[in-house]
Structure 1
Amino acid sequence: MRFDLTDLQLFIHIAESGSITAGAELSHLALPSASARVRGMEEALSVPLLQRGRRGAEPTEAGRTLLQHARTITRQVENMHAELAQFAAGLKGQVRMLCNTSAITEFLPDALAAFLKTHPRLSINLEERMSREIVQAVADGAADIGIISDAVDRATLQTFPFRDDPLVLVMAPGHPLARQLGNQRRMAFVQALEHDFIGLAGDSAFQQNAIEQATRLGRRFHCKIRLRGFEAVSRMVASGAGLAILPATAARRGSEPLRMVKLSDDWADRKLLICVRDEAALPGYARDLLAALRRPD
């Protein structure tokens, strides 16, 4: 059995794009050449690696095993180049980082700005994802560092404290629910679901979490409008147009007059964690970033 790095990178591209054609394009290979490489890998292993169908191609069980190893090998090669690059001018390396909505908007801008100022030759590829997707990506080697909610299963990863991030229900002081609650400072999420909500636009991981929690309760999360950013949501809520779920930090930071109520649901009393697959296996610059982000236990 003999695979080269082009074979492994091609297989990663096919698996992630769901198509041999797209994988070939991403790998800068002609389609016949890409198909021949996949056949060669399957013949060398005597096992099918892809399940081909009308909608494209997806890895078989053996293919998923190969995918995990391919990601590990290609990442090790990237780490090698990045570590050696510190001896030359230019970037020292790149860290692939995934985080949830709250982390990317509330906590990371200041922390990363300070770190990058002292590490000018490092770049960070930062993306927003759902916490459970982040766990899988870090476990598979598709990301170096993740920031997740403590509500998800992360047994396969190493985790470190990052920030407390409780969620609160916010409303205008004159909203009917505010009058109904009186002096009550705490309530269950289900009690709010009969009212309209203001949400976040796009494929927000934060927004998706609220929808999923409502679904678990057998209720519908009705969103009248979706806006970009917690600040815009706060302004709309202050006008009385609806309720919103916000991180307590974002709710307190806004200048609008809002009534904040704690949620009694366990998922709302959340903490954010940094997760990695293996701290010792990270390249030096990624370990430096991890150390800068970690909160003392």
Structure 2
Amino acid sequence: MRFDLADLHLFLCIVDAGSITAGANRANLALASASERLRNMESAAGVVLLERRPRGILTTEAGEALAHHARVILRQQEMLKGELQDFAVGVRGTLHLYTNTAALTEFLPGRLASWLADRPRLRIELKERTSADIVRAIASGLAEAGVVSDAVETEGLQLQPVAKDHLALIVPRTHALAQCDKVCLAQVLDQPFIGLSQGSALQDHIDAHARSAGGLFDIRIRMKTFEGVCEMVAHGVGVGIVPLSVARRCRRRYPFQTLLMADDWARRQLCLCFGDWKQLSAPMRSLLSHLGANTDGF
């Protein structure tokens, strides 16, 4: 026994109208076509669904059961259509946004909050990666978009700056470098260092530049947060590298000195990174626009 949605809709139109003729009109079908569909339904069910009377129809017990389930099925179909429409227009689903450490901790929280609050059926999964890893993931089709440093090679992808992300060296106030304005990474490779935890995209990025400069950090301890790094430095445990925005915020609480880094790779901007704008999902386009994407050329 197989009833399609059109059969169920017609049956309810007939039941609600009280006659086959009126029900056919509600369903926008010719009377002959509606009558033929109804006969086929009863034949498939193997039971009489309607009693035909001179002044209309009455539902049999089997017909009442069918009417009940038809209403449930059609209501669920409308709910399904609504949910799929939500996905289509970008108000439901899960977005996977790849991001480097600085964007994850400093740039995104304040900007994502209002956007997500307006879309209660959407979820965002943030994936922390180095900028180079993010570019590779987008170029290979494993990710739609991400937030990266402009210091990375983009392999032909779109790169749009949205915020400054300069890195700074922080040192105890009594440190020999405390009176300097700027410093290069090579000058501090022999210093006790406060690192970020294993797996931090920013720490991986800094470590790679340390190796390029011909050395490795003498890491005394790794901290999970930038605030933890700042507190350790303030107590004289070692030096650390954090985004300049973090240093400016945390020095109100922790006594340390902030030195700008003179290395080109440390004078960064945070950028949105993506491929073909038209190939992005509707919710991703909405999110990137909210984060500052310039869509004039798309």
For residues 152 and 291 of structure 2, the distance between their equivalents in structure 1, rounded to whole angstroms, comes to: 20
- 1:211 aligned residue: 207
| Alpha-carbon distance in 2 for matches of 1:283, 1:150 | 24
- Alignment of 1:192 onto 2:166: no
SS at match of 1:285: helix
How many residues get paired? 212
Displacement of 1:139 in angstroms is: 1.3
| CA apart distance, 1:258 | 1.4
Partner SS, residue 176 of structure 1:
coil
TM-score (norm 2): 0.67
Match of 1:275 among 259, 273, 276: 273
Matching residue of 1:222: 218
The answer on whether the counterparts of 1:82 and 1:93 sit within 8 Å (CA) in structure 2 is no
Aligned to 2:147: 147
Shift of 1:187: 1.7
Provide the residue aligned with 1:98 in structure 2.
98
For the 8 Å contact 1:82–1:94, the answer to whether it is kept is no
Contact 2:101–2:202 (CA<8 Å) still a contact in 1? yes
3-state DSSP of counterpart to 1:106: helix
Question: Any idea what SS the aligned residue of 1:287 has?
Answer: helix
Q: Write the letter of the residue equivalent to 1:286.
A: M
Give the C-alpha shift of residue 296 in structure 1. Answer: 6.4
Q: 2:245: which partner in 1?
A: 249
Q: Secondary structure at the match of 1:214?
A: helix
Residue equivalent to 1:201: 197
**3-state SS of the aligned residue for 2:241?**
strand
Aligned ranges 1:157-168 → 2 under 5 Å: 157-168=157-168
Q: Output aligned runs, 1:173-188, within 5 Å.
A: 173-178=173-178, 182=179, 184-188=180-184
What corresponds to 1:12 in structure 2? none
**In the superposition, relative to structure 1, how do residues 129 and 110 fare at CA in structure 2: closer, same or farther (>3 Å)?**
same
CA gap of 1:215–1:269, structure 2 versus 1, over 3 A, is same
Partners of 1:114 and 1:221 lie apart in 2 by: 39
**Shift in alpha-carbon separation, 1:100–1:83, aligned structure 2, 3 A:** farther
- Secondary structure in structure 1 of the residue aligned to 2:198: coil
Q: Is 1:126 paired with 2:109? A: no
Superposed CA deviations along residues 83-115 of structure 1, whole A, max 9, x for unmatched, are 934179x96122111000000001111111111
User: What is the aligned-residue RMSD (CA, Å)?
Assistant: 2.2
The 1-side partners of 2:278 and 2:294 are apart by 19
Give the Cα–Cα distance (whole angstroms) in 2 for the partners of residues 82 and 97 of structure 1.
Answer: 25
- TM-score, length basis structure 1: 0.67
- Considering only CA atoms, is the larger Rg found in Structure 1 or Structure 2? 2
**What per-residue deviation string (whole Å, max 9, x for no partner) do you get for residues 181-203 of structure 1?**
x3x20121111111111011121
The verdict on how the C-alpha distance between 1:225 and 1:290 changes in structure 2, with shifts beyond 3 A counting, is same
Instruction: Write out aligned runs for 1:65-80 (5 A).
Output: none
Instruction: Give aligned-pair identity as a percent.
Output: 41
Distance (Å, rounded) in 1 between the aligned partners of 2:153 and 2:279: 22
Matches within 5 A, 1:225-240: 225-240=221-236
CA distance in structure 2 between the aligned counterparts of 1:82 and 1:134, rounded to whole angstroms: 34
Aligned equivalents of 1:129 and 1:116: distance in 2? 22
For 1:296 and 1:85, the matched residues in 2 are separated by: 26
CA contact (8 A) 1:85 1:93 kept: no
> Equivalent residues in 2 for 1:3-152 (5 A)?
84-86=84-86, 92-152=92-152
CA distance in 1, matches of 2:196, 2:175: 20
Q: Which runs of 5 or more residues in structure 1 are unaligned? A: 1-80
SS in 1 for 2:108: helix
Q: Where in structure 2 are there 5+ consecutive unaligned residues?
A: 1-80
Q: Is the 8 A contact 1:163 1:295 kept in 2?
A: no
> How far, CA to CA, are the matches of 1:237 and 1:93 in structure 2?
42
SS of the aligned residue for 2:141 comes to coil
Q: 1:248: how far off?
A: 0.4
Match of 1:104, SS state, is: helix
